[in-house]
Amino acid sequence: MQPLLELRKVTKEFPGVRALDSVDLHVDRREVVGLIGENGAGKSTLVKILAGIHRIDSGSMLFDGSPASFRSPRDAFNHGLTMVFQEQSIIPTLTVAENIFLGREQEFLRFGVIDKRAMNAAAEVELAKVHLDCNPATKCASLDFAARQMVEIAKALSLDGRIDSDIVILLDEPTSVLERQEIDLLFEIIKELKAKASIIFISHRLDEVLQVSDRVYVLRDGAVVHETASTEATITGLHEHMVGRQLDHEYYRENKQRELFGESVLSVRNLTIEGEFRNLSFDLAEGQILGIAGVVGSGRESFARCLGGLLPPSNGEILVDGKPVRLNQPHQAVLAGFGFVPSERKSEGIVTGLSVSENMTLAAGDRFSRFGFIKFEQERTECQRWIDRLRIRTPSTKTPMQSLSGGNQQKVVLSKWQIFGSKVAVLDHPTRGIDVGAKEDVYELIREMADQGVAIILLGDTLEEVIGLSNSILVLKDGEVSAKFQAPVGAKPDQIELISKMV
Amino acid sequence: MTEKQKELLRNLVPIFTLLALVLGIAAFEPGFLKPANLVTVTADTMTLFLMASGATFVIMLGSIDLSIQAIASMTSCILAALLPMFGGTALLIALAGGATAGVLSGLVVNYFRIPSFVATLAIGGIMTSVAFWASNERSIYISDEDKSTWLNWATGTSVGIDHEVVVGLVVLATLSAILSLTRFGRLVRAVGSQERAVVASGINVNRIKFFAFVISGLMAGLAGIVMAARLGSGSPTLASEFLLPAIACIIVGGTAITGGVGSIWKTFVGALIIAVVRIGMTFVGITVLAQQIVFGLVLVIAVAMTIDRTKVSVVK
């Protein structure tokens, strides 16, 4: 049978890089195709070509058997290719229904005016498809992040039934901001959709890809290096194809996990932010790693931001080395000894316009200047030492930050707090959106930091990561601690135990 | 083309533009290339450069200062009004007046958290009123005696070089050093590039912004003093036509209006470009009244060329 979507020898070059190198790929009708690859493997370029944002240099794209070249995402949509992007395209000031039908209001025009009732009714139908129970007339700003993601998916699905041809739905990292429960729901939805649509599923979580796809393509350095039926694939096998080498040591470096800790560094007493979390209390010692688990809306993100000085607490006490500290401003948090690694690396973690070394010494600048003048040589030497130690791939200390890959950027962010000498590292999704190889380097670094006596608070990208790395785990549910787990090597709690306390 | 080559090109375009314009005029009027004439042209440009030099810091933050022409006019009035009474101290009072205007802009931006274009527009209005009040709503003549005693550093000549050029080069060197060698300068660039990340790194961003506005006010004040010295009078409307060219020369030099990218020497080159364009227009026969049209167009084109589109995905 003729595939619904087919790419033949597609090549795309950007100045200096061949982003896609003669890629052959096809998607059959009613098939779920998984697409995996490290960052920089060419996934996003492929997505952008399908979406009509980039044009192909050579090769061809066929949709429903006939050559296709989409001029814009709207054009792709009208042809039957719809997508859910990693970054949300929901407009917070519009209602759920208005977002779903953005740009297609003419369907609901009556005497030149939008028939809101009809639009809301149609939106109800779309929302039912994603099992999202909300009023289509509510403003998206009042929805939580996960619900917005569901609206995003509903928006993409609204194509179904509106055009004659079969449709392809492209899901680009749809699960990265969702928690387990919502992911399960999404997979249910995908199964239902399969009855009428083809799906391309992109994710860096290999287990999810295997769970949901019929067939998997592995991209590396712009080329398809492996194609397999999901039933014949294993996570380790796919992983090796992705990174092009074998996993040589234990993923979460559990052999390096400390079990004995130093002095107590941090005491949190009844910490509260109204509407976010209540009465959080715990102690943390030098070299100890505390994982925080919880679904979106459990208050864990706000807690991390609170320790970073970005969300002032409304109540409670924080003591560092036994002395109470105030965290109303980020600079107070930094001086108190907190080093916050934000989940949004590109907007809060790095300063794109600065060089690698300038980013590294951003927090510790006082140490590298005298009477306000920068001590360039000392700065360069120290930064080069960290670059070597963390295996940061950069041509020099002066390289602009934006030309580094995500993983290397994240290492720079981590080194910033190491150079400053933070006592407590608050890591909010430190491995979000970075490739597998870089993840391992980050895990290695986290272990090293613990060895040096840094107390670490970790919000993991996956539950597996939290369990693998932490000494103990706090589970948050609706803003309160619902459980505490010890996680020594060999006696780690399993995911099911944690999940049961999360929901 | 690599990023480095692009960067190099971005740096060279303004310089080649300047050379092309100079040679273009020289083709009509070979005398233009005489060293003495080039020095004079540079001297004439320095008040514009001084005004734009401090504002470069503000623009590099991604903010803007729309009060510089009002500040310059105000300090010209303060200087002219107070010279007969206080002598050299009047210079310091005028400079302090410029710095104070910057302080006010900085405070308004930081504590009321309103965009700089509104804050500096408002402060500029206030400064204009101060100028009218200080000058009794008219021009104030500076006596030749006061001028030669107190303002020779700005308008005199040594070994054939106009002092304006010396003042301009000293400011160029000092501000360049601040921007590229100090932590403050680096943080100005950082804030303009990615403010949220700078905040999350524990930097007091308000302090950086505050001092950028103070430098801008101080330099606009200095520009007002030099203008008054050259013209021999202070007036509340002395610099009113200078805002557009001043912003234009910052951008034409290659500093991005979106912040994060720029330098003082770029503004210096930009100021010379604007000056040469102005002279060129006179050659071609464009009346002074229509010259703002050209500056407006130049500004639009320069902004379009230097703007960082990744930061401005939506235009409002």
Mean pLDDT for A172-200 is 81
Are the beta carbons of B260 and A353 separated by less than 8 Å?
yes
Higher pLDDT residue, A268 or B258?
Answer: A268
Domain boundaries, position B16 = 3-306
Are the beta carbons of A372 and B183 separated by less than 8 Å?
yes
Which chain B residues contact residue A310 at CB under 8 A? 199-200
- C-alpha closest to that of A57 among A103, A18, A94: A18
The Cα-based distances of B236 to A27, A335, B54, B75, B100 in angstroms read 72, 47, 21, 9, 17
Q: Which of B194, B204, B261 sits opposite A351 (nearest CB)?
A: B194
Q: Assess whether pLDDT exceeds 50 at residue A489.
A: yes
Assess if residue B316 is contained within a domain: no
Q: Assess whether pLDDT exceeds 90 at residue A340.
A: yes
Distance CA B53, CA B168 (A): 9
Q: Assess whether pLDDT exceeds 60 at residue A246.
A: no
Top residue of B5, B110, B194, B313 to mutate, by most chain A CBs within 10 Å, is: B194
Question: Which pLDDT does position A245 carry in this prediction?
Answer: 58
Higher pLDDT residue, A68 or B228?
Answer: B228
Same domain, A115 and A228: yes
Higher pLDDT residue, A209 or A433?
Answer: A209
Same domain, A460 and A381: no
Are the beta carbons of A373 and B202 separated by less than 8 Å?
no
**A73-82, A341-350, B57-66 — which is least confidently predicted?**
A73-82
Assess if residue B79 is contained within a domain: yes
Higher pLDDT residue, A355 or A393?
Answer: A355
CATH of the domain at B77: 1.10.3470
Question: Which pLDDT does position A287 carry in this prediction?
Answer: 93
**pTM for the complete prediction?**
0.77
Q: Assess whether pLDDT exceeds 90 at residue A91.
A: no
Give the minimum alpha-carbon distance from A350 to chain B in angstroms, rounded to a whole number. 6
In A, minimum Cα distance to B179 occurs at: A373
Which chain B residues contact residue A342 at CB under 8 A? 200
Same domain, A133 and A210: yes
Q: Which of B183, B190, B204 sits opposite A331 (nearest CB)?
A: B204
The Cα-based distances of B139 to A366, B51, B91 in angstroms read 48, 20, 18
Which chain A residues contact residue B201 at CB under 8 A? 330, 334, 362-363, 416
Assess if residue A444 is contained within a domain: no
Which chain A residues contact residue B186 at CB under 8 A? 354, 358, 365, 374
Question: Which pLDDT does position B193 carry in this prediction?
Answer: 92
Mean of all residue pLDDT scores within chain A: 87
Picking from A378, A402, A421, the residue at the C-terminal end of a domain is: A421
In B, minimum Cα distance to A335 occurs at: B202
Assess if residue B264 is contained within a domain: yes
Specify the number of domains making up chain B.
Answer: 1
pLDDT band at B314 (very low <50, low <70, confident <90, very high): low
Assess if residue A446 is contained within a domain: no
Top residue of A89, A340, A362, A368 to mutate, by most chain B CBs within 10 Å, is: A362
Picking from A243, A270, A305, the residue at the C-terminal end of a domain is: A243
Are the beta carbons of A331 and B186 separated by less than 8 Å?
no
The most confident of the ranges A106-115, A230-239, B119-128 is B119-128
Residue B6 CB burial class (10 angstroms; 0-12, 13-18, ≥19): exposed
Higher pLDDT residue, A104 or A287?
Answer: A287
Question: Where does A107-199 have alpha helices with state H?
Answer: 116-129, 145-157, 180-193
Specify the number of domains making up chain A.
Answer: 3
* A289-293 vs A472-477, strand pairing mode: parallel
Assess if residue B110 is contained within a domain: yes
Distance CA B21, CA B272 (A): 10
Distance CA A89, CA B40 (A): 56
pLDDT band at B279 (very low <50, low <70, confident <90, very high): confident
B156 with B37: CB under 8 angstroms?
no
Q: Which residue has the tokens 């860096």?
A: A204
Same domain, A163 and A224: yes
Are the beta carbons of B190 and A333 separated by less than 8 Å?
no
Which chain A residues contact residue B3 at CB under 8 A? 400, 403
Are the beta carbons of B189 and A15 separated by less than 8 Å?
no
Question: Which pLDDT does position B210 carry in this prediction?
Answer: 97
Assess if residue A440 is contained within a domain: no
Are the beta carbons of B201 and A310 separated by less than 8 Å?
no
Which chain A residues contact residue B189 at CB under 8 A? 353-354
* Dihedral pair phi/psi, residue A9, rounded to 5°: 45, 50
Q: Which residue has the tokens 């607490």?
A: A313
3-state secondary structure of A98: helix
The Cα-based distances of A115 to A90, A106, A108, A438 in angstroms read 21, 10, 6, 51
H or E element in which residue B148 lies: helix B144-150
**A14-18, A231-235, A476-480 — which is least confidently predicted?**
A14-18
Same domain, A179 and A287: no
B3 with A401: CB under 8 angstroms?
no
Which chain B residues contact residue A398 at CB under 8 A? none
Are the beta carbons of B182 and A369 separated by less than 8 Å?
yes
Higher pLDDT residue, A11 or A85?
Answer: A11
The Cα-based distances of B115 to A1, A20, B51, B121, B184 in angstroms read 60, 43, 21, 10, 21
The most confident of the ranges A457-466, B258-267, B297-306 is B258-267
Per-residue pLDDT tens over the stretch B84-139: 999 889 999 999 999 999 999 999 999 999 999 999 999 999 999 999 998 888 88
Top residue of A331, A351, A414 to mutate, by most chain B CBs within 10 Å, is: A351
Mean of all residue pLDDT scores within chain B: 90
Give the minimum alpha-carbon distance from B272 to chain A in angstroms, rounded to a whole number. 27
Question: Which pLDDT does position A248 carry in this prediction?
Answer: 47
Are the beta carbons of B200 and A335 separated by less than 8 Å?
no
Same domain, A315 and A374: no
Are the beta carbons of A372 and B184 separated by less than 8 Å?
yes
Give the minimum alpha-carbon distance from A378 to chain B in angstroms, rounded to a whole number. 14
Assess if residue A354 is contained within a domain: yes
Distance CA B174, CA A222 (A): 49
Q: Assess whether pLDDT exceeds 80 at residue A138.
A: yes
Are the beta carbons of B2 and A416 separated by less than 8 Å?
no
Q: Which of A308, A354, A374 sits opposite B200 (nearest CB)?
A: A308
Q: Assess whether pLDDT exceeds 70 at residue A29.
A: yes
Same domain, A52 and A108: yes
In B, minimum Cα distance to A371 occurs at: B182
Question: Which pLDDT does position A164 carry in this prediction?
Answer: 67
Picking from A221, A243, A265, the residue at the C-terminal end of a domain is: A243
Are the beta carbons of A358 and B186 separated by less than 8 Å?
yes
Assess if residue B182 is contained within a domain: yes
Question: Which pLDDT does position B308 carry in this prediction?
Answer: 67
pLDDT band at A286 (very low <50, low <70, confident <90, very high): very high
- C-alpha closest to that of B32 among B300, B289, B276: B276
Percent of chain B with pLDDT over 70: 96
Assess if residue B313 is contained within a domain: no
Assess if residue A482 is contained within a domain: yes
Assess if residue B141 is contained within a domain: yes
Same domain, A256 and A220: no
Q: Which of A15, A335, A363 sits opposite B201 (nearest CB)?
A: A363
* A455-459 vs A424-428, strand pairing mode: parallel
Give the minimum alpha-carbon distance from A360 to chain B in angstroms, rounded to a whole number. 10
Q: How far apart are the first and last CA of chain A?
A: 44
Q: Which of B3, B181, B182 sits opposite A403 (nearest CB)?
A: B3
In B, minimum Cα distance to A342 occurs at: B200
Question: Which pLDDT does position A344 carry in this prediction?
Answer: 86
Which chain A residues contact residue B261 at CB under 8 A? 353
Distance CA A497, CA B5 (A): 56
Assess if residue A31 is contained within a domain: yes
Give ∠ CA A338-A343-A346 in degrees, rounded to 5: 110
Q: Assess whether pLDDT exceeds 50 at residue B41.
A: yes
Q: Which of A331, A340, A372 sits opposite B182 (nearest CB)?
A: A372
Same domain, A281 and A351: no
Which chain B residues contact residue A329 at CB under 8 A? 204
CATH of the domain at A162: 3.40.50.300
Assess if residue A385 is contained within a domain: yes
Q: Which of B2, B186, B200 sits opposite A16 (nearest CB)?
A: B2
Are the beta carbons of A358 and B182 separated by less than 8 Å?
no
Q: Show which residues on chain A lie within 8 Å of chain B, measured between beta carbons.
A: 15-16, 308-310, 329-331, 333-335, 340, 342, 347-354, 358, 362-363, 365-366, 368-369, 372-374, 400, 403, 416
Are the beta carbons of A374 and B182 separated by less than 8 Å?
yes
Same domain, A43 and A110: yes
Question: Which pLDDT does position B88 carry in this prediction?
Answer: 87
Give the minimum alpha-carbon distance from B180 to chain A in angstroms, rounded to a whole number. 9
**A143-147, A286-290, B53-57, B258-262 — which is least confidently predicted?**
A143-147
Question: Which pLDDT does position A277 carry in this prediction?
Answer: 92
Residue B44 CB burial class (10 angstroms; 0-12, 13-18, ≥19): middle
Same domain, A259 and A324: yes
Question: Which pLDDT does position A497 carry in this prediction?
Answer: 82
Assess if residue A110 is contained within a domain: yes
Question: Which pLDDT does position A231 carry in this prediction?
Answer: 87
Question: Which pLDDT does position B316 carry in this prediction?
Answer: 57
**A242-256, A455-469, B137-151, B179-193 — which is least confidently predicted?**
A242-256
ipTM of this predicted structure: 0.86
Give the minimum alpha-carbon distance from A22 to chain B in angstroms, rounded to a whole number. 23
Assess if residue B314 is contained within a domain: no
- C-alpha closest to that of A59 among A17, A33, A21: A21
Give the minimum alpha-carbon distance from A399 to chain B in angstroms, rounded to a whole number. 10
Mean pLDDT for A13-30 is 82
Alpha-carbon dihedral sign for residues B277, B279, B285, B291 = positive
- C-alpha closest to that of A479 among A295, A346, A239: A295
Question: Which pLDDT does position A247 carry in this prediction?
Answer: 47
Question: Where does A51-115 have alpha helices with state H?
Answer: 73-79, 96-100
Same domain, A144 and A154: yes
Question: Which pLDDT does position A16 carry in this prediction?
Answer: 54
Give the minimum alpha-carbon distance from A342 to chain B in angstroms, rounded to a whole number. 8
The most confident of the ranges A111-125, B100-114, B153-167 is B100-114
In A, minimum Cα distance to B207 occurs at: A331
Domain boundaries, position A403 = 345-421
**A73-77, A333-337, B74-78, B177-181 — which is least confidently predicted?**
A73-77
| DSSP letter, residue A428 | E
